[in-house]
Structure 1
Amino acid sequence: MHHDDAQARTPLTDGGPPADTDLTDVARQLHELARARDRLQGLLEAVMAISSELELPVVLNRIVSTAMDLVHARYGALGVLNEDRTELDEFITVGLTDRERADLAGVELPHGRGLLGTLIHHPQPLRVANIQAHPHSAGFPPGHPPMRALLGVAISVRGEIYGDLYLADRADGRPFDEHDQDIVVALAGAAGVAIENARLFEQVRAGAEQFQRLLLPRLPDLYPYAGAAIYEPATRPAQVGGDWYDAILLPDHACGAVIGDVVGHDLHAAAAMAQTRNMLRALLYDRRTPPSAVLTRLDRTLHAITDTPVTTACLARIEPGDHGWILHWSTAGHMPPLLLAPGRDPEYLHAEPGLPLGVDPHHPRPDHTRPLPPETIMLLFTDGLVEHPALPIDTGLDALAELAAAHAHLPLDELCRTLCDRHPSDGHDDMAVLALRTPPAAWPETPP
């Protein structure tokens, strides 16, 4: 064997650590890199998750639960500061069990004193290994679950402290470390942006909703008929919708009523709704012809001078008859009217529907006629009241009829409110309800 070959096979240590120590060090570093990569990926996913929400209460809860997931905390809370930035005005908690929440029933929510107040007055990240041993700790109220470690981070919006994010007790029982603090601080920065977006969305939606309500009419005096109507925006994120209603007393002692829904959920739909309603009111008052003819004239006018989207509508006319009242109605692809007559089961007036407005202005629509007993309630409504993606439409219609019949004794405004509050739909769409009641058998020519 040559000397060079023997030297090549001899390990070179140069007095350094053993090879197995080097491998352990490399493995540790790789583990740390993998952990950092996973936490960075988790942070990116967390930022995307909270940024995708627009409802402020949902955003606040998502911030807390996301922070808990990132650092494996057992408990989390977000305290929203009051306008003076002196104490907590709202306290959102995540992680408490039903039993723990029951134990805290009746206990006043924290206002931000003691250790929680430290972060309010000194909004730098706060890490505490033992809450009870901290000099600013005020202890826990009766029934509060025991907590040991705390990590607190301030959340700012547009340069002002909005609130504080509190996390308690890592799942592994160890105190929160610097890596936990760094990742929660990063999340808090994204949380501030998400909160600001949600607040701006609420402002825009509130303004758009107010705009929608201003476009809808306040029902006039319909004597001898009684009437009420209500509009409710969707409970899910949405802008204004195209739901609309109207009712007017006609010169020949008839009452005209309409409900409709313009396709779309934006300002264009709201503007088209207002334009359509105003045109229809003028045509209905001027012509007083059968509802189908009024809808046809409206359809042709809209087609000629506007770019209004497709619209569904149901137009009704109630007039005096020889033995009560007579209902004439025509639909343009809309839900049927619902009748609540004294002593009778609720009844939908299913009949041949016409095409929606904006589809074919030259296609005729059928008219329908039905005698009405005195003091019959006619309900017109939009599909947002009954549609549910997981259920057939007939299920929603049946539920609405049952609900309406059970509350038909209420004043009409309360009936409309009840139907909107307890609707069988999933709330994905805005909704409108219009209720008209025919006069009693004998009524004076002028109001009492």
Structure 2
Amino acid sequence: MGGRHRQIRSASADDLLSQLGRLTARVREEIEVQRARVELAEALQRGMLPTTLPTAPGLRVAARYAPARSGLDIGGDWYDGFRLSDGTLAFSVGDVQGHDVEAAAYMGQVRIVLRAVAAMGAADPGEILGTANELLAATDDPLFATCLFLCFDPRTWSVRTSRAGHTGAVWAREDGECGVIERGQEDIGLPLAVLPGETYTVTRYRFTQPGALALLTDGVVEGPRFPLEEGLDAVAQVLCDGVHEDPDTLADRVMEVAERTGHSDDAAVLVLSHDGPEACRTADAAPGVV
């Protein structure tokens, strides 16, 4: 009898070890698949972000992107900048719903649509967002995206912005004033691809003195440690304290705000550092590209 019990226990132990081996192999396989998807999403994201950004005399630009910290939380945020045919410089930041390979691919699609609409001659940011919304809403893709689109005219130093469900730009001037464009404004338009026929209002203002402007995604300013408004105020203070610094330094310091929020989302920031129109009166007005 004792021998039979030992054989039964031994057989049961062998079965358990065999099952454990199969489960371990399956977990390893799933981990490898997940790791491959993360690497693919990172490659898609970084491959589709621009390698150069437009600039002009007296205007310097820098951008940063930070992937999410865990899992497949990557791929939705972007920044972009390009020159329009009339000499206007266009900049955008945005955030696609979802954080995976599909979000990364959709991000590229949104950027292409925005560029194509702008290239067709639409220089008004509200019109660009409206047309892009119609095109994206006509697809069967269930994803959507928030976006802030900005147009800067280097001849007049005027700026026009329009938002599709996105956070407003943060600004600071050398006189110590700082804030958030359109803070608290409710009429900002729905995210892109949510509802056909949506219209997007345009805010106009002008750079009158040296300063800095930051376009960013909510991963920079919102997290478990403090809410959106506190994050925006923190970025405004960073810009105000470093208003005379180069945009690369400012972009790095703005991204440090993201670390303080304790966020787990990916994050993107685009910083425009400017001298103001008075400093550039004798400069060549034709924009260049770096």
Q: Normalised by the shorter chain, which TM-score bucket?
A: 0.7 to 0.9
1:301 has 2:125 as partner: no
Q: Which structure 2 residues correspond to residues 419-438 of structure 1 after superposition, within 5 A?
A: 419-423=254-258, 424-438=260-274
SS of 2:120's equivalent in the other structure is helix
Unaligned runs of 5+ in 2: 1-19
Instruction: Summarize the Cα distance change of 1:415–1:429 in structure 2 as closer, same or farther, 3 Å threshold.
Output: same
Q: Do 1:280 and 1:298's aligned partners in 2 also have CA atoms closer than 8 Å? A: yes
1:287 has 2:121 as partner: yes
Query: Once the two structures are superposed, what CA deviation does each residue of 1:100-121 show, in whole Å capped at 9, x if it has no partner?
Result: xxxxxxxxxxxxxxxxxxxxxx
Query: Once the two structures are superposed, what CA deviation does each residue of 1:348-368 show, in whole Å capped at 9, x if it has no partner?
Result: 002431111122221222111
SS of 1:405's equivalent in the other structure is helix
Instruction: Summarize the Cα distance change of 1:305–1:193 in structure 2 as closer, same or farther, 3 Å threshold.
Output: closer
SS of 1:419's equivalent in the other structure is helix
Superposed displacement of residue 204, structure 1: 4.0
Q: Pick which of 329-338 and 201-210 moved more.
A: 201-210
Q: Which structure 2 residues correspond to residues 20-419 of structure 1 after superposition, within 5 A?
A: 201-224=34-57, 225-307=59-141, 309-320=143-154, 325-350=157-182, 351=185, 352-389=187-224, 391-419=226-254
Larger gyration radius, structure 1 or structure 2? 1
Q: What CA distance in whole angstroms lies between the structure 2 residues aligned with 1:197 and 1:308? A: 26
Superposed displacement of residue 392, structure 1: 2.9
Query: Once the two structures are superposed, what CA deviation does each residue of 1:309-352 show, in whole Å capped at 9, x if it has no partner?
Result: 12100111111465xx1111110110001112222322100243
TM-score (norm 1): 0.53
What does residue 7 of structure 2 align with? none
What does residue 136 of structure 1 align with? none
Aligned Cα root-mean-square deviation (Å):
2.9
Superposed displacement of residue 202, structure 1: 4.3
Q: What CA distance in whole angstroms lies between the structure 2 residues aligned with 1:354 and 1:316? A: 15
Q: Do 2:172 and 2:211's aligned partners in 1 also have CA atoms closer than 8 Å? A: yes
Identical aligned pairs, as a percentage? 30
Instruction: Summarize the Cα distance change of 1:196–1:427 in structure 2 as closer, same or farther, 3 Å threshold.
Output: farther
Superposed displacement of residue 233, structure 1: 0.6
1:444 has 2:284 as partner: yes
TM-score (norm 2): 0.79
Q: What CA distance in whole angstroms lies between the structure 2 residues aligned with 1:308 and 1:188? A: 39
Query: Once the two structures are superposed, what CA deviation does each residue of 1:75-103 show, in whole Å capped at 9, x if it has no partner?
Result: xxxxxxxxxxxxxxxxxxxxxxxxxxxxx
Unaligned runs of 5+ in 1: 1-186
Instruction: Summarize the Cα distance change of 1:401–1:194 in structure 2 as closer, same or farther, 3 Å threshold.
Output: farther
Q: Do 2:167 and 2:217's aligned partners in 1 also have CA atoms closer than 8 Å? A: yes
What does residue 17 of structure 2 align with? none
Q: Aligned letter for 2:228?
A: I
Superposed displacement of residue 246, structure 1: 0.9
Q: Aligned letter for 2:80?
A: D
Superposed displacement of residue 308, structure 1: 5.3
